[in-house]
């Protein structure tokens, strides 16, 4: 991949990550304080775009940090962990009740 294309992928991935992660953070904080009742409509987009931007970017030193956008975006890893916890808790409660 050419150097300018790698820079374009890095910059566009970073911009998408920052925009979507900002919206996800706003939604999460609003949900925590009861002002917003719905979650993110694009939960994995921001972290995935940031991860791809770092993986495909022109600086090889940043490739080792490609997991950071997935953790920082509240719509990615934290949301998936919360959903998995809720699902496991529901399964456990239904198995105890039957």
- The overall average pLDDT reported for the chain is 88
pLDDT range class, residue 98, cuts 50, 70, 90 = low
Average the pLDDT over 39-51 and give the result.
86
Q: How far apart are CA 89 and CA 78, in angstroms?
A: 16
Q: How far apart are CA 42 and CA 44, in angstroms?
A: 6
The residue ranking higher by pLDDT, 41 or 66, is: 66
Structural contact between residues 43 and 24, judged by C-beta atoms closer than 8 angstroms: yes
Average the pLDDT over 5-12 and give the result.
94
Give me 81's structure tokens: 């962990």
What percent of the chain clears pLDDT 70, i.e. is strictly above it?
Answer: 97
Does residue 34 register a pLDDT over 60? yes
The pLDDT assigned to 64 comes to 94
Reference 76, options 29, 42, 26; nearest CA is: 42
Tell me the pLDDT tens digit for each residue of 70-96.
989 988 887 788 888 988 999 888 888
């Amino acid at each position: 991949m050419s150097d300018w294309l790698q820079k374009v992928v890095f910059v566009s991935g970073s911009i998408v990550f920052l925009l979507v992660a900002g919206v996800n953070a706003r939604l999460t904080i609003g949900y925590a304080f009861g002002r917003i009742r719905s979650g993110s409509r694009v939960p994995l987009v921001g972290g995935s775009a940031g991860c791809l931007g770092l993986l495909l970017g022109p600086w090889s030193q940043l490739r080792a940090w490609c997991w950071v956008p997935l953790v920082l975006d509240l719509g990615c890893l934290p949301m998936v962990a919360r959903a998995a916890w809720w699902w496991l808790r529901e399964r456990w409660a239904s198995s105890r009740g039957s």
